[in-house]
Each structure stands twice: as structure tokens, then as C-alpha cells.
Amino acid sequence: AQSVTQLGSHVSVSEGALVLLRCNYSSSVPPYLFWYVQYPNQGLQLLLKYTSAATLVKGINGFEAEFKKSETSFHLTKPSAHMSDAAEYFCAVRGIMEYGNKLVFGAGTILRVKS
Amino acid sequence: NAGVTQTPKFQVLKTGQSMTLQCAQDMNHEYMSWYRQDPGMGLRLIHYSVGAGITDQGEVPNGYNVSRSTTEDFPLRLLSAAPSQTSVYFCASSYGQGDGVNYGYTFGSGTRLTVV
């Protein structure tokens, strides 16, 4: 079955430290890839997306992600964490061939930022 | 503001009761979907629709029905509520063709359902 794997259900970083949230997908054809963020008691907000135009994608709030076909990965990074980044982050994939054009989510990673 | 509107925001049901979660979008999106969110499991697809009159099952469809009589509306019906259906439900919509697929999904703000 096609799947999205997010390594680490919880990640804790200090304020000012690098944020790295990992996402791997299974697909023989590069799909469309997305990162969503969910703040407590809120809906999902699109952070960034990969649509094959460029392998390094910049999103909102200083986040970026790099698509690596050879590793089937789309890890999310931010050079310096801020307290306001504390949230749950979801990686998602969408592809016509193997996901039937549906949006499939990983299990999510909760980011905690320590002062 | 344009977007996806879900009602109600909160609901408590007794086991065996039925209800309908409403979802409406005003962006003329072809695709609409219902997800449920449970801790540690991400968002799981319940049902989806690729256009008016067309619906299909997702990953966890049991206990839920949907219909799509118009492009704008995609209600989710719980037939006989069970405690296992306690969850947060999100409706989402998207373009389905061409470059629109790039845009991802737009999500509603969610319905928090508790079944006692």
C-alpha cells in the first residue's frame, strides 16, 4: 500500500536550534508533496508544497523542504526554531497514478520548542 | 472569506443517535473529502467525491454515508453513532484537474464530535 512515513511522533528542540522533521513516501512516480501545520485546536494550514518546479521549496514562517527522489524523502527544516513554531506538522502526498489523486497523510510530528 | 465551512464546531451524541455534519465550499472545487483525526494516526480519509453525483470510499468508511448533490455541499452522515467515532472531523476541498492538483487541499476548521 502506498504510504507516508513521518519519523518521530514527537520532536523537541531548543529555541534558536535547527528544526528537522522527517518525511518519506512510497511511490514509483514522484507525487505532489505537502507539509501542513496544525496549531492547537485549529484546522490545517498549508506550509509548503513540492510540485516538481524546484527541489528546494520555501514556505511560510521560514520553513523549507527539499525533495530528494533518490531517497524518496521530503524533510522539513527551519534554521532557527521559535516558540511560536510549537505545533503538529503533517506530511502529505498526492499523486494521480498511485494515490488516485487523493491526499494521503502521515501520522504527524508534534514539535515542542523549549525556552 | 472564501473557503470551506463546517458546521457544527462541537457536537455530543449518545450511542445510536444519527446526525449529519455539514460542509460547504465556495471555490468551485471539484474534489471534496472527509477526514477524521485521531491522536497518533494523522488524518484518515473517510469518503471523497470527485464531482457532483460521484462519491467513493476512503480508508475508514464504515458507519458513515455521504452524498454530493451539488458542487458546493458534501454532508457526512453518521448512521448510528458509536464511541469509536469520537474524533475531530475535517472537510477539505481541492481542484482536481491540471495545475489545480498542485494547490493541495483547503481545510475547514473541523467538527469535534464526542459519542457517549
CB of A96 less than 8 A from some CB of B: yes
- Core vs surface per residue B84-109: b (16+ CB within 10 A) or e: ebbbbbbbbbbbbeeeebbbbbbbbb
CB contact under 8 A, B42 and A43: no
Best residue of A35, A103, A105 to probe chain B, by most B CBs closer than 10 Å? A103
- B-chain CB neighbours of A103 within 8 Å are 33, 45, 92, 94, 104-105
The mean per-residue pLDDT over the stretch B10-32 comes to 95
3-state secondary structure A64-82: EEEEECCCCEEEEEECCCC
Q: Is the pLDDT of residue B112 over 90?
A: yes
Q: Is the pLDDT of residue B87 over 80?
A: yes
Whole-number pLDDT of residue B16: 97
For residue B79, give how far its alpha carbon lies from the nearest alpha carbon of chain A (Å): 25
Whole-number pLDDT of residue A99: 61
> What mean pLDDT is reported for chain B?
92
Residue A81 contacts by C-beta under 8 Å, 6 or more apart in sequence? A13, A14, A15, A16, A17, A18, A19, A111, A113
CB contact under 8 A, B101 and A107: no
